[in-house]
């Protein structure tokens, strides 16, 4: 996860330069709260401290990059706690979470604090995001070059497509990710927007290059495609599964952007991350021997467990006396109550 942290630095640095001190404060708050929550939880549950694997740092950074710079700092702290405690640790920790922790926390904040999470400012002025302008048919007011560089409104880490791609190239060169998921995702999205863009906006031609480029550089598509859709825990582990996963992401993102609309996404284009969360639960899972992920990021078989036990056992340990815990241990011998482990079949990879 150290390489992923390094790859996120260009987007983080540009976000701080673009939005100022408030962006830096938000990134620090989300990252610090995520790391501290993981440390405190593992300390209280007598588990191995895992903050040195940088997974909590990546979660905090990704959450911060998906936050508006104008949001209050305590909202970032709340999101960091929710991401680690609820989405990650209560499902068993790294390798057991059923959705991307940063995206789960962002959707939690979006639902809970819709106004703050959808208010964007640039140069001290509240303004609509480029995708909101495209959605309303005002594509003439959208400057593609500004979107490519990042001189526009949006969340801290999504505005500069160049900064995101620099980090993605680093991950590809280091062998951490490949092009199957992000490449299929982006290619499918381009085809969908090129074909159906004219139906959503009659002023747009068939495969209009400026319209397609604006959609590619706008919103969280690039950040989501390269850094969140490729999450090892919640994405498919087989080559064919990754291609199907990427294609579905592209179709759903295009569908929601062009024809969707909801109360919590008031035409601001924030559909990419919700699509990824939906697909987290549709990932194609095949036996472990078909696993194509980077070996350094695949948890050892002995450390894997059936998802769900991480929520039950810590609660039991907090509520029940030791004598009751020993009685439960005798009734359910397959569970090891004290080290939170659960027997795993070596030939099967459980998410």
Q: Using one digit for the tens of pLDDT, what is the confidence trace for 196-221? A: 888 877 777 788 888 888 888 887 88
What lies within 8 Å, CB to CB, of 190 at 6+ separation is 212, 216, 250
Residue 174 structure tokens? 């280091």
Q: Name the residue with higher pLDDT: 128 or 49.
A: 49
Gap between the Cα atoms of 155 and 102, Å rounded: 14
Residue closest to 288 by CA, chosen among 223, 323, 234, 236: 236
Pick one of 1.10.3430, 1.20.140, 3.30.750, 1.10.287 as the CATH number of 2-290.
Answer: 1.10.3430
SS3 content of the chain, % helix, strand, coil (to 5): 60, 0, 35
Q: Are 203 and 137 in contact (CB under 8 A)?
A: yes
Residue extent(s) of CATH 1.10.3430 domains in the chain: 2-290
301: pLDDT strictly greater than 50: no
Q: CA 100 to CA 223: how far, in whole Å?
A: 13
Most confident of 66-80, 296-310, 328-342: 66-80
Q: How many of the other CB atoms lie within 10 Å of CB of 20?
A: 13
Q: What percent of the chain has pLDDT over 70?
A: 71
- Cα distance between residue 42 and residue 30, in whole Å: 18
Q: How far is 43 from 38, CA to CA, in rounded Å? A: 8
pTM: 0.74
Terminus-to-terminus CA distance in the chain, angstroms? Answer: 18
Averaged pLDDT for residues 286-309: 46
Measured between alpha carbons, how far is 170 from 225 in angstroms, rounded to an integer? 15
Distance CA 295, CA 25 (A): 34
**pLDDT tens digits for range 39-96:** 999 999 988 898 999 999 999 999 999 999 999 999 999 999 999 999 998 888 888 8
* pLDDT tier for residue 10 given thresholds of 50, 70 and 90: very high
Rounded CA-CA distance 178/164 in Å is 15
Phi, psi values for residue 222, rounded to 5°: -65, -45
The answer to whether residue 107 scores a pLDDT higher than 60 is yes
Question: Helix/strand/coil (H, E, C) string of 82-96?
Answer: HHHHHHHHHHCCCCC
Distance CA(30)–CA(7), nearest Å, equals 17
Give 324 or 101, the one with higher predicted confidence.
101
pLDDT score of 270 more than 70: no
pLDDT at 329: 67
> Quick one: pLDDT band at residue 289, thresholds 50, 70, 90?
very low
Give the confidence band of 237 by pLDDT, cuts at 50, 70, 90: confident
Is the model more confident about 291 or about 129?
129
Give the residue-averaged pLDDT of 230-241: 86
Report which of residues 134 and 231 the model is more confident about.
231
Q: How far apart (Å, rounded) are the C-alpha atoms in residues 131 and 85?
A: 33
Residue range 23-38: mean pLDDT, rounded: 96
- For residue 310, the model assigns a pLDDT of 47
The mean per-residue pLDDT over the stretch 92-107 comes to 86
Q: How confident is the model at residue 6 (pLDDT cuts 50, 70, 90)?
A: very high
Going from the C-alpha of 142 to that of each of 4, 261, 282, 299, 338, the distances in angstroms are 31, 20, 35, 44, 58
pLDDT top residue among 330 and 158: 158
**Predicted local distance difference test score (pLDDT) of residue 115:** 87
Q: What is the pLDDT of residues 139-197, one digit of tens each?
A: 656 677 888 888 888 889 888 889 999 999 999 999 999 999 999 999 999 999 999 88
């Amino acid at each position: 996860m150290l390489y992923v942290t390094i790859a996120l630095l260009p987007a983080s640095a540009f976000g701080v330069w673009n939005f100022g001190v408030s962006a830096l404060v938000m990134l620090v708050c989300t990252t610090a709260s995520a790391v501290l929550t993981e440390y405190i939880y593992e300390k209280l549950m007598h588990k191995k401290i895992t903050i040195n694997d940088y997974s909590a740092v990546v979660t905090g950074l990704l959450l911060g990059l998906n936050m508006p710079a104008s949001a209050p700092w305590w909202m970032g702290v709340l999101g960091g706690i929710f991401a680690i405690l609820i989405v990650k640790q209560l499902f068993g920790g790294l390798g057991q979470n059923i959705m991307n922790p940063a995206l789960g926390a962002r959707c939690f904040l979006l639902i809970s604090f819709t106004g703050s999470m959808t208010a964007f400012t640039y140069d001290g002025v509240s303004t609509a995001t480029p995708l909101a302008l495209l959605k309303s048919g005002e594509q003439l007011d959208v400057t593609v070059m500004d979107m490519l560089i990042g001189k526009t409104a949006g969340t801290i880490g999504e505005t500069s497509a160049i900064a995101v791609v620099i980090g993605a190239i680093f991950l590809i060169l280091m062998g951490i990710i490949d092009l199957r998921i992000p490449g299929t995702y982006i290619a499918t999205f381009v085809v969908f927007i090129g074909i159906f863009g004219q139906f959503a906006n009659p002023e747009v031609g068939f495969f209009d290059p400026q319209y397609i480029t604006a959609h590619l550089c706008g919103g969280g598509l690039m950040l989501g495609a390269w850094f969140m859709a490729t999450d090892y825990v919640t994405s498919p582990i087989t080559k064919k599964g990754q291609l199907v996963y990427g294609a579905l992401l592209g179709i759903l993102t295009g569908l929601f952007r062009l024809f969707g609309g909801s109360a919590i996404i008031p035409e601001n284009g924030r559909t990419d991350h919700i699509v990824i969360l939906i697909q987290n639960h549709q990932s194609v899972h095949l036996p472990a021997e078909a696993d194509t992920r980077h070996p350094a990021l695949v948890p050892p078989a002995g450390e894997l467990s059936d998802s769900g036990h991480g929520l039950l056992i810590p609660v039991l340990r907090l509520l029940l006396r030791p004598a009751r815990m020993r009685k439960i241990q005798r009734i359910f011998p397959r569970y090891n109550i004290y080290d939170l482990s659960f027997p795993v079949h070596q030939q099967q990879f459980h998410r």
